[in-house]
């Protein structure tokens, strides 16, 4: 576990307040402990959380313990990365993706005027 992990640990309980009501763009990483590819991208997610601090929020949602949020957004595969802006899903990536691709998408969202 990284010390001072900058990402937000999401749950069914805080999903609305942390993601849908956020004034920043949010990248949500839907993952689970038994998912090998999720572990591959975990360090990338942590790096993005640090690098985009203040500009975009990065959250991780464990689907095993929070099935409602996964169902709500039709997530049926992990890792799934959903990009939220103003409470809406504006982009998605199914499966692993290189850091460059994720950073570029965040850059695009964070750079747009509110």
Q: How far is the CB of 40 from other proteins (least distance, A)?
A: 6
By C-beta, is 39 or 55 nearer to other proteins? 39
- Cis peptide upstream of residue 79 (ω within 30 degrees of 0): yes
Binding mask 48-87 for other proteins (x = CB under 8 A): ---------------xx-----x---xxxxx-x-------
CA distance 23 to 77: 27
Cα dihedral: 111, 89, 64, 51 (round 10): 0
Nearest to 58 by CA among 95, 112, 103: 103
Number of residues forming the site for other proteins (CB under 8 A): 23
Catalytic residue among 35, 56, 63, 102: 35
Q: What's the closest the beta carbon of residue 59 comes to other proteins, in angstroms?
A: 19
Pairing of strands 26-31, 80-85: antiparallel
Binding site for other proteins (CB under 8 A): 32, 34-37, 39-40, 63-64, 70, 74-78, 80, 92, 94-96, 98-100
Catalytic residues: 35, 38
């Amino acid at each position: 576990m990284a010390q001072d992990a900058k990402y937000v640990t999401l749950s069914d309980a805080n999903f609305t307040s942390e993601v849908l009501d956020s004034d920043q763009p949010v990248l949500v990483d839907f993952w689970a402990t038994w998912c090998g590819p999720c572990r591959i991208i975990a360090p990338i997610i942590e790096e993005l959380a640090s690098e985009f601090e203040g500009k975009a929020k990065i959250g991780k949602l464990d689907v095993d313990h929070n099935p409602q949020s996964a169902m709500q957004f039709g997530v049926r595969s992990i890792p799934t990365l959903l990009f939220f802006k103003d409470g809406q899903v504006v982009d998605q990536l199914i499966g692993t993706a290189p850091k460059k691709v994720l950073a570029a998408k965040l850059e695009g969202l964070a750079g747009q005027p509110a």
